[in-house]
Amino acid sequence: MAVYLHEEDLPADCLAPGAVAVDTETMGLVTTRDRLCLVQISDGRGDEHLVRFGVGSTYDAPQLKAVLADPARVKLFHFARFDLAAIQHYLGVMATPVFCTKIASKLVRTYTDRHGLKDLVRELLGKEISKQQQSSDWGGPVLSDAQQDYAASDVRYLHAMQTILAERLEREGRTAIAQACFDFLPSRALLDIAGWADRDIFSHE
């Protein structure tokens, strides 16, 4: 298992075919204000690839965009809503089709209100991950080893968790409703970008 840091794009042919786990790191939580600094991606076979974008980046990244836009590859996220919006806004790609482990967790782990990545990894896989670097400066000129390991851990376990959560969705008869939620996520991300992030347009108010 290795972590590879790349500047501005993925190398060609560094990922095996099939589903990819994806995550992003930004300068903050406001997509249109806080620039995209890092995209993490893994094919689930043991390596993680980190693509860093510098200040003033044009976000061309043709290799990365081709993977994210590939309709034959399912993209695995944890809280896909945020990552889809960041990828769409900065890279101009809607990374579909989607499986979101946070949504799947909320649909099948109704015995708890703890749906964070750290909690899921602990319960489903019996592993511990550190979140100490979560709020660090991702836009600096150098990413520390601790930052790189943290970023890689965000995609390291998504394939294994997707397998378990998909089985539980099937067991509880909630696969179809989960898929409907996943299919709506691109629209939810576009609403966030357009200014409706904090408004529930489906509510009566």
Confidence of residue 133 (pLDDT cuts 50, 70, 90): low
Q: What mean pLDDT, rounded, does the chain reach?
A: 96
Q: What does pTM read for this prediction?
A: 0.95
Predicted pLDDT of residue 1: 80
Predicted pLDDT of residue 196: 95
| pLDDT > 90: percent of the chain | 92
Distance CA(39)–CA(71), nearest Å, equals: 19
- For the cut 80, the answer to whether the pLDDT of residue 21 exceeds it is yes
Predicted pLDDT of residue 29: 95
> For residue 121, which of 139, 137, 136, 101 has the smallest C-alpha distance?
101
pLDDT tens digits, 152-185: 999 999 999 999 999 999 999 999 999 999 999 9
Distance CA(80)–CA(100), nearest Å, equals: 6
- For the cut 70, the answer to whether the pLDDT of residue 31 exceeds it is yes
Q: Which residues pair with 99 in a beta bridge?
A: 76
pLDDT tens digits, 64-106: 999 999 999 999 999 999 999 999 999 999 999 999 999 999 9
- Could you count the other beta carbons within 10 Å of the beta carbon of residue 71? 7
Question: Which H or E run includes 24?
Answer: strand 20-26
Contact 75, 99 (CB under 8 A): yes
Q: Which domains does the chain have, with CATH numbers?
A: 3-196 (3.30.420.10)
Span 132-142, average pLDDT: 84
- For the cut 80, the answer to whether the pLDDT of residue 132 exceeds it is no
Predicted pLDDT of residue 109: 98
193-201: list long-range contacts, CB under 8 Å, 24+ apart.
193/31, 193/32, 193/85, 193/88, 193/89, 197/31
Predicted pLDDT of residue 135: 73
